[in-house]
């Protein structure tokens, strides 16, 4: 699976450079009236100061033209919004990108971010490595975040000061980058802080692709203790050797409770497998593995009616004479075991085929997915 950082866009410095070229004071002779609240369709909102402007279609065209003059091909679709202060500082702006990957604010991701940031910046137009780089965990409004601050020299612009916040939502990561001329960073920082204090995650779009896969795997991991507990309980109950009808009745009562718990979990597992298959798309090998997992679920489902039948049999014998109850093994247990004996070989064959195909095609799957499907 790709690193989540590979989906974070690092184009802000190029945008900033082109802002300086394209949006000179003559191009912004008046301040248009704007609402101070920006509410994104990508699931967040923030407010911005009076006099600041949203980058509009005309501005985007100007930046694209400036890019062609300096031979830079920039895709502004990477940036969800760019809000700038054209009459205060032609460089000062805040922009937001939304990544479909989850990058939580944890020490592990902090270290990865710190390691990769200089490499990414070097690919994005910096004239040298970032100076005064500081990377740490912080808060943005009520959200945990990774914060990086640095200064560097940008061709055509001069020395700039930047700070970037990486904020994980439920299904997406929001990357907020603030930029100012280095000489005016002391004035810009409090303004950026006020804007960031209003940042709010609303209803995010449904996750897709890698973000959805990550979400499913996280749910699978969270459900593993429950799955292990139910599996162990089921094995313990079925391994009992009742010596009397009362013991058999107790076995069936316990079995009913565990099967009821298992039903809900198995239904959810089926939904998760189907969703994972959809997210992986048209990969024939991966699709085949998920089909085999569904086959195993189908075979497993054949066993439940057998156990339910045995439970129903015990219920019927409760009102029968004791002499009839004593034949519970012949009437209830033996038929169930005969039916199970026909299903077990099918399950064993399906397991062997799955294991064989995982060895052959498992490289098509990320390790965390393999761990889930082989549990």
Place of tokens 């509009």: 56
* Three-class SS state of 178: strand
Query: How high is the pLDDT of residue 32?
Result: 46
Given phi > 0 = left and psi -120 to 50 = alpha, else beta, which region is 85? beta
Nearest Cα to 369, choosing from 308, 304, 254, 285?
Answer: 285
* Residue 178 buriedness (CB in 10 A; 0-12 / 13-18 / 19+): buried
> 0.75 exceeded by the pTM?
no
pLDDT over threshold 90, residue 170: no
Q: Return the C-alpha torsion angle 217, 218, 224, 227, nearest 10.
A: -70
Place of tokens 């009236």: 33
pLDDT over threshold 90, residue 312: yes
Query: How high is the pLDDT of residue 171?
Result: 75
Structure tokens at 242: 């009742």
Query: How high is the pLDDT of residue 118?
Result: 82
User: Once rounded to an integer, what is the mean pLDDT over residues 261-272?
Assistant: 84
Provide the H-helix boundaries in the chain. Answer: 12-22, 57-69, 107-122, 185-197, 209-238, 245-280, 284-318, 322-325, 328, 334-361, 367-373
Please give the DSSP secondary-structure letter assigned to residue 333: I
**pLDDT tier for residue 235 given thresholds of 50, 70 and 90:** very high
Mean predicted lDDT score pLDDT of the chain: 79
With beta carbons less than 8 A apart as the criterion, state whether 349 and 299 touch: no
Query: How high is the pLDDT of residue 164?
Result: 93
How many Cβ atoms sit within 10 Å of the Cβ of residue 286?
A: 19
| CA-atom Rg of the chain in angstroms | 30
User: Once rounded to an integer, what is the mean pLDDT over residues 184-193?
Assistant: 93
Give the whole-angstrom CA distance, residue 14 versus residue 124: 7
Distances (CA, A) of 245 to 55, 154, 328: 78, 84, 7
Place of tokens 């990320």: 366
Nearest Cα to 67, choosing from 128, 130, 125?
Answer: 125
Place of tokens 């002391």: 186
With beta carbons less than 8 A apart as the criterion, state whether 45 and 39 touch: yes
The angle at the Cα of 366, spanning 172 to 109, to the nearest 5 degrees, equals 45
pLDDT over threshold 70, residue 67: no
pLDDT over threshold 70, residue 191: yes
| CA end-to-end span of the chain | 19
pLDDT over threshold 50, residue 113: yes
Stronger pLDDT, 138 or 353, i.e. the higher one:
138
Among residues of the chain, what percentage have pLDDT more than 90?
32
**pLDDT tier for residue 121 given thresholds of 50, 70 and 90:** confident
Residue 162 CA, chain-centre distance (Å), reads 27
Give the whole-angstrom CA distance, residue 39 versus residue 44: 6
Give the whole-angstrom CA distance, residue 285 versus residue 288: 5
User: Once rounded to an integer, what is the mean pLDDT over residues 199-207?
Assistant: 80
**pLDDT tier for residue 251 given thresholds of 50, 70 and 90:** very high
pLDDT over threshold 90, residue 239: yes
Distances (CA, A) of 349 to 222, 295, 303, 358: 29, 11, 16, 14
**pLDDT tier for residue 203 given thresholds of 50, 70 and 90:** confident
Q: Calculate helix-pair angle for 209-238, 245-280, nearest 10 degrees.
A: 170
**pLDDT tier for residue 79 given thresholds of 50, 70 and 90:** confident
User: Among 87-101, 219-233, 274-288, which is the least confidently predicted range?
Assistant: 274-288
């Amino acid at each position: 699976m790709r690193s989540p950082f590979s989906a974070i866009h690092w184009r802000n410095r190029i945008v900033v450079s082109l802002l300086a070229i394209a949006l000179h004071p003559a191009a912004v002779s008046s301040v248009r009236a704007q609402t101070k609240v920006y509410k994104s369709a990508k699931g967040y909102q923030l407010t911005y100061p009076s006099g600041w402007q949203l980058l509009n279609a005309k501005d985007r065209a100007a930046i694209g033209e400036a890019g062609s003059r300096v031979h830079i091909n920039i895709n502004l679709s990477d940036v969800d919004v760019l809000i700038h202060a054209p009459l205060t500082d032609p460089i000062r702006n805040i922009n937001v990108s939304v990544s479909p990957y989850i990058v939580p604010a944890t020490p592990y991701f902090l270290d990865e971010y710190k390691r990769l940031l200089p490499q990414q910046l070097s690919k994005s137009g910096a004239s040298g490595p970032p100076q005064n780089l500081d990377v740490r965990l912080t808060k943005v409004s009520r959200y945990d975040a990774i914060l990086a601050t640095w200064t560097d020299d940008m061709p055509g612009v001069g020395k700039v000061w930047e700070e970037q916040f990486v904020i994980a939502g439920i299904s997406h990561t929001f990357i907020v980058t603030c930029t100012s001329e280095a000489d005016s960073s002391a004035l810009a920082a409090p303004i950026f802080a006020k804007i960031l204090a209003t940042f709010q995650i609303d209803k995010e779009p449904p996750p897709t692709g890698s973000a959805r896969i990550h979400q499913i795997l996280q749910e699978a991991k969270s459900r593993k203790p429950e799955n292990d507990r139910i599996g162990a309980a089921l094995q313990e109950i079925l391994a009992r050797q009742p010596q009397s009808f009362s013991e058999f009745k107790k076995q069936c009562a316990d079995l009913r409770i565990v099967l009821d718990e298992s039903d809900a979990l198995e239904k959810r597992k089926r939904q998760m497998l189907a969703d994972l298959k959809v997210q992986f798309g048209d990969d024939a090998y991966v699709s085949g593995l998920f089909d085999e997992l569904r086959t195993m679920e189908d075979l497993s489902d054949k066993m439940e009616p057998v156990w339910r039948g045995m439970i129903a049999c015990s219920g019927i014998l409760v009102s029968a004479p004791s002499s009839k109850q004593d034949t519970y093994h012949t009437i209830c247990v033996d038929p169930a075991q005969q039916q199970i004996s026909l299903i077990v070989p099918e399950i064993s064959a399906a397991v062997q085929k799955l294991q064989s195909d995982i060895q052959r095609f498992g490289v098509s799957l990320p390790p965390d997915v393999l761990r889930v499907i082989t549990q």
